[in-house]
Chain A
Amino acid sequence: MFDTVPLRLENISKFYPGVIALNEVDFSIEAGEVRALLGKNGAGKSTLIRMACGLEKPDKGTIYINGERVEFRGPADARNYGIEIVSQELNLVPWMDVAENISIGRWPKRIGGIDYKAMRQLAVEALARLDVQIDPTLPVSRLSPAQQQLVEIAKALAKQPSVLLLDEPTSSLPVTEVESLLNTVKRIASQGVAVIYVSHRLAEIAQVADSVTVLRNGNLVGTASFADLTEQDIVNQMVGGVVELPELQHPDFFGVPVVLHVDDLTIPDRVENVSFELHEGEVLGLAGLLGTGRSEILRTIAGFDKPEHGEIKLLSGEAHRSNIQYMIAHGIALTPENRREEGIIPYLGVDENLATGRWGQLAKNGIISWQGIKNVAEQFIEQLSIKTPKVDTPVMNLSGGNQQKVVIGRWLGVADRVLLMDEPTRGVDVEAKSQIYEIIRSTAARGVGIIVVTSELEELLWCCDSIIFLHNGKASQKYKRADLNIETLNSLVNGGTL
């Protein structure tokens, strides 16, 4: 029988020592289909993807391409069968130009070397297929993260794949650019390419996917057309239960002590004359598109950068300094936006990652107490439900959500006045997300003022008391969360008014 299914995995299983990563899973995709692949961290998504693109061999089961039974010895084999992957990490050479990157390793040749003209042509065509405007002669290092992501996709498309795997393609993109990426995905599918789309963001999946496949604990929960499901159905399927969003109180902060004054703050090319106050126990959301200075405001408060102009005042009139250690000592700390780059110390254990930042409490005359570290670590592992085999397991072996909880845990009990959180739920699964919201709420309940920056607008409704919008270098007034909904949020973040 002639079969045109571009990729079909049948009865596929993968075992790691002590763990069944995938248990007899069937998966197939049609040409032109966009299939969302969903599941919590550890559900088996990455294993499935790695087998589909030849990075790993299944222990059981068969892979078919157009009805032909195949066995991949490596990624090169999968590529020959028309399967391309764009992984979460960018694999571009920053100081090569866009065109060179697109045809990297397969540069068109002519007598005497590389045919630069043909190479440019190839790049122009690949970019045109995506309908994006990027100058192919620019070095990649000059592009924004979103543009780099598009170049990655162009690179994959230049090889004319029949199946394209996208692994969290939007995890590092600002809201505005997500839209254009989603359009690109739809466009690629309309050209007959089967797209497998992995993401934690249900909202974008709803926009782009035709169907979803949900995995849980290595098992296939099911595959369904998107039209048949609600977001809540999907979340329930992923976690195997019902997740309830936290009910928020709407306290009035009138008369509650102020822990942080920001007065007339100016950061060059970002924001001008921003002023606001943060109360004890208040969770304030800073909303704005990427590049509006959200992160920069947090970094300035935390002492990473010097403000160009303006004043930051702490509780009881203590001075603010552009010195991280000083700010930490005064109970103000930041959980950075990029946990792999600035958050975790990969080879050190969960215990030490939690202890960094509180050496003052755990060391005497520069000599540390391992028992003290262990006690603190056990307390936070329990309190934040961090899933780790042992207290001293290297933090790099944990899933993204658990790593994030470690980074947040580092400051609990240290940042006892102001906790600044930049994208606290980026790249984190649904269950860990709701746990992080809970941590935010319970920390605020202990009287800590919290500022949250996030690209996911709904998140602001789920965990903030009040929200300030940044647009065109200006800050809006402080809105009460109770007065906002997702539509008004969307309008305000784009510079509109209530």
Chain B
Amino acid sequence: MEDQSNIMTAVEKRKPEYRSPLWGMIRGHLNEITLLVGLLGVSAFITINNDVFLSSANLINVLRSAAFLGIVTWGMTLVIIAGEIDVSVGPAVAFAAVMLGSLVNHQGLPLEVAAVIVVITMTIVGYIGGFIRAKFNVPSFVTTLALWSIYDGLKQVISNNIPIPVESDTFQVWGRGDLLGIPYVVIIAAILFLIFRYISRQTVFGRAVYAVGGNAKAAYAAGINVLRTRAMVFAITGGLAGLTGLLHVSRLGTATGQVATGLEFSSIAAVVIGGSSLSGGRGSLIGSLIGVLFISVIANGLVLMGVNSQAQNVVRGALILIAVLVNVVFKQESKDI
């Protein structure tokens, strides 16, 4: 019967076509692969126009600035996957730097003790901000915007906008020294990256972050502690901002509030370029890593090619916009029907 044969063809066509495992891998990581290709393209473009870019000294430079952006961004990735946003990280880093200088120089605390106090304080403040967001249902954009202003004001109150010298040879190793040519900051950022990648994929907390960001009500109904998960991601960015502040002081030898300006912008941009959804539930650390490298390479290339600093921001903004657009388009393409 004709009807019957039609049904048969329909059923046969439903069978999934054979695809090689390699294709499956490529398809599953289309975002990351596109980004990587984009990153290589931008790098090639810079190399053609400037022969300094590929020198090892310059590449180390790129990695160093990527590390200073990356450390906070690993935490930001969790924040964004949880469906939240933290706009306070820039001033948080600057405040942490100034706080360290003040504790050492004004209060006379030993550097190690001061450093520990800074990281713990920043973690706790982050947790409180996250707790307020979760408990009272204030949008995190608002709570962290308030924190942005508080940190920005406090750092000026404490330092009077005067750099505070922090001198210690052992401490400066962290920001300036290297191991076999690789700066310690890069090693720290790399280790933290591996830890965060592990957290996001292998721990109950990490999966809870995805669940809460994907559907908080369902996560709650399934017995996940939504409040604690939300508070924790902000505690993490707080702690990482504290650590980044320490590393800035170590690198400069002084505690100044003039560091990490606009870090919140670059960090959020890196995460979004990396394919995480601002509405939560989706994203990966690998994507953020590529996003961080992308932003660092662009910034470096613009300097190398002698673009003036005002125009740099324009170009950087435009490139980020393009990267995000490409990303969004690809995500729609790879959406299953």
Closest to A24 in B: B6
- A341: B residues at CB distance < 8 A: 215, 217-218
- Smallest CB separation, B254 vs chain A (Å): 40
**Beta-carbon contacts of A315-336 to B below 8 Å, as 1s and 0s?**
0000000001100100001101
Q: Is A23 an interface residue (CB 8 A)?
A: yes
**Beta-carbon contacts of B222-237 to A below 8 Å, as 1s and 0s?**
1111000000000000
Asked if A325 meets B225 with Cβ closer than 8 Å, knowing A389-B16, A397-B336, the reply is yes
- B11: A residues at CB distance < 8 A: 217
Q: Is A151 an interface residue (CB 8 A)?
A: no
- Smallest CB separation, A69 vs chain B (Å): 24
Residues of B in contact, count (CB < 8 Å): 33
Residues of A in contact, count (CB < 8 Å): 39
- Smallest CB separation, A482 vs chain B (Å): 34
- Smallest CB separation, B203 vs chain A (Å): 5
- A20: B residues at CB distance < 8 A: 9-10, 13-14
Q: Contacting B14 at CB < 8 Å: which of A18, A334, A393?
A: A18
Q: Are A336 and B214 in contact (CB under 8 A)?
A: no
Q: Is B137 an interface residue (CB 8 A)?
A: no
**Beta-carbon contacts of B71-108 to A below 8 Å, as 1s and 0s?**
00000000000000000000000000000000000000
Q: Are A356 and B13 in contact (CB under 8 A)?
A: no
Q: Contacting B219 at CB < 8 Å: which of A24, A304, A356?
A: A356
Q: Is B17 an interface residue (CB 8 A)?
A: yes
**Distance between Cα atoms of A152 and B225 in the complex (Å):** 37
Q: Interface residues of B: mostly helix, strand, loop or mixed?
A: helix
Q: Is B171 an interface residue (CB 8 A)?
A: no
Q: Is A426 an interface residue (CB 8 A)?
A: no
Q: Are A368 and B203 in contact (CB under 8 A)?
A: yes
- Smallest CB separation, A355 vs chain B (Å): 8
Q: Are B204 and A219 in contact (CB under 8 A)?
A: no
**Distance between Cα atoms of A348 and B212 in the complex (Å):** 11
Q: Are A23 and B219 in contact (CB under 8 A)?
A: no
- Smallest CB separation, A402 vs chain B (Å): 14
- A251: B residues at CB distance < 8 A: none
- Smallest CB separation, A267 vs chain B (Å): 18
Q: Are A324 and B220 in contact (CB under 8 A)?
A: yes
Closest to A369 in B: B202
Q: Are B223 and A368 in contact (CB under 8 A)?
A: no
- B221: A residues at CB distance < 8 A: 304, 324, 334, 336, 342-343
- A357: B residues at CB distance < 8 A: 222-223
**Beta-carbon contacts of A188-231 to B below 8 Å, as 1s and 0s?**
00000000000000000000000000000111000000000000
> 22 A-B pairs, CB-CB below 8 angstroms?
A17-B337, A19-B337, A23-B10, A24-B6, A304-B221, A343-B221, A344-B218, A345-B211, A345-B218, A346-B281, A347-B281, A348-B214, A348-B281, A352-B211, A356-B211, A359-B204, A363-B203, A363-B204, A367-B202, A368-B207, A370-B202, A410-B222
